[in-house]
């Protein structure tokens, strides 16, 4: 079982799209995606600095555009087939596109709305997110509850992301559970919590007008790591995910149960293959960060398939 992975917010870095623009057709595709998302993705991915691409309204369409582009380029380079798809947080939009649930342009329209609506929702209160690394899950969850925080991301063994009011995050950092490190994340608000309820409504309204097909490959959902076989259900879960926890830990458990043999993470890659090295030890991975990584991805897919 060869699985394509698509990363979430925070994986972008200044200038990371520059090498992709040297490829035929990429600039034209990015212009199309920019129109759909309402963001100048070429400037964002090649010229803008860290602060500008950290903006939720920019980061989300930028990441999804890069994932879709790198996935399409790989398909143009070689006849490769993936048995399954999954995306982390906003990466789930790219996963639905790769699985054929959404067209690429509709996916970009939705992620543009998702990014803007989540950015707007984040201005309503002083909130944020912090990664809690290490410790036992029960101790971490008890500490989050005591600080009135929500476990927004279960990223795998020894990593939970806490989200909520800034004062609660400060209290968690001051009284970190034994054996943990609390690392503040550079995000605008408490994503995947009730603070994003307004964004759910905006995305649900927008999603009502897009065409949907059933997945053409196995598609796992962040909600609980299960397989989704109905396109409308997959889109509904994608919408609700905005204010619900990301259960990437359960996704990785499902990959293992399905007999995963290889993982390819698409641009801007590295985060999910890093989690897999801890949560799925021994499974070969390739992170497609630039066009130079495409040959390694093709070799892994073809070698595993053979």
DSSP state of 183: E
pLDDT for 306: 57
- Dist. CA 240–CA 7, nearest whole Å: 18
pLDDT for 59: 95
In this structure, the strands spanning 159-165 and 127-134 are: antiparallel
CA dihedral 284, 289, 291, 293 (to 10 degrees): -20
Whether residue 89 contacts residue 178, with contact meaning beta carbons closer than 8 Å, is answered with no
| Active-site residue identified among 192, 243, 244, 254 | 192
pLDDT digits (tens, 9 = 90+) for 43-72: 999 999 999 999 999 999 999 999 999 999
- The first and second tokens of residue 249, run together, are 């830990």
| Active-site residue identified among 70, 89, 117, 244 | 89
- Dist. CA 169–CA 162, nearest whole Å: 8
Residue among 123, 128, 93 nearest 203 (CA):
93
What is the per-residue DSSP string for 55-106?
SHHHHHHHHHHHHHHHHHHHHHHS----SEEEESTTHHHHHHHHTTSS-HHH
The SS3 call for residue 31 is helix
The SS3 call for residue 187 is coil
Q: Is 127-184 a domain of CATH 3.40.50.300?
A: no
Domains 2-122+193-305 and 127-184 in one fold? no
Region 221-226 average pLDDT = 95
Whether residue 87 contacts residue 237, with contact meaning beta carbons closer than 8 Å, is answered with no
Whether residue 34 contacts residue 40, with contact meaning beta carbons closer than 8 Å, is answered with yes
pLDDT digits (tens, 9 = 90+) for 12-40: 999 999 999 999 999 999 999 999 999 99
Phi, psi (rounded to 5 degrees) for 74: -60, -45
CATH code of the domain occupying 2-122+193-305? 3.40.366.10
pLDDT digits (tens, 9 = 90+) for 229-250: 999 999 999 999 999 999 999 9
How crowded is residue 252: how many other Cβ atoms within 10 Å of its Cβ?
26
**89 labelled catalytic:** yes
Q: Return the domain boundaries, the chain.
A: 2-122+193-305, 127-184
pLDDT for 305: 60
Residue 263 has pLDDT above 90, yes or no: yes
**192 labelled catalytic:** yes
């Amino acid at each position: 079982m060869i699985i394509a992975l698509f990363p979430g917010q925070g994986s972008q870095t200044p200038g990371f799209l520059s090498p992709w623009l040297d490829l035929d057709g990429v600039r034209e595709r990015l212009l199309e995606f920019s129109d759909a998302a309402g963001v100048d993705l070429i400037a964002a991915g090649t010229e803008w600095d860290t602060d500008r691409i950290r903006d939720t309204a920019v980061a989300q369409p930028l990441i999804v555009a890069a994932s879709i582009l790198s996935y399409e380029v790989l398909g143009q380079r070689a006849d490769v087939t993936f048995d399954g798809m999954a995306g982390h947080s906003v990466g789930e939009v790219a996963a639905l596109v790769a699985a054929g649930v959404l067209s690429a342009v509709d996916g970009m329209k939705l992620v543009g709305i998702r990014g803007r609506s989540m950015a707007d929702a984040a201005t309503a209160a002083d909130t944020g997110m912090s990664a809690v690394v290490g410790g036992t899950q029960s101790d971490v969850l008890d500490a989050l509850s005591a600080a009135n925080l929500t476990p927004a991301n279960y990223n795998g063994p020894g990593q939970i992301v806490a989200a909520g009011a800034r004062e609660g995050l400060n209290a968690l950092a001051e009284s970190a559970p034994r054996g943990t490190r609390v690392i503040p994340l550079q995000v605008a608000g408490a994503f995947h919590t009730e603070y994003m309820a307004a964004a759910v409504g905006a995305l649900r309204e927008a999603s009502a007008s897009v065409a949907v097909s059933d997945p053409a490959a196995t598609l796992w959902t962040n909600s609980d790591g299960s397989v989704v076989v109905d396109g409308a259900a997959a889109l509904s879960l994608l919408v609700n995910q905005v204010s619900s926890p990301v259960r990437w830990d359960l996704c990785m458990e499902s990959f293992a149960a399905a007999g995963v043999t290889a993982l390819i993470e698409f641009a801007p890659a590295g985060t999910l293959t890093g989690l897999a090295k801890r949560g799925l030890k021994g499974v070969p991975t390739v992170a497609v960060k630039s066009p130079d990584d495409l040959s390694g991805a093709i070799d892994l897919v073809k070698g595993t398939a053979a």
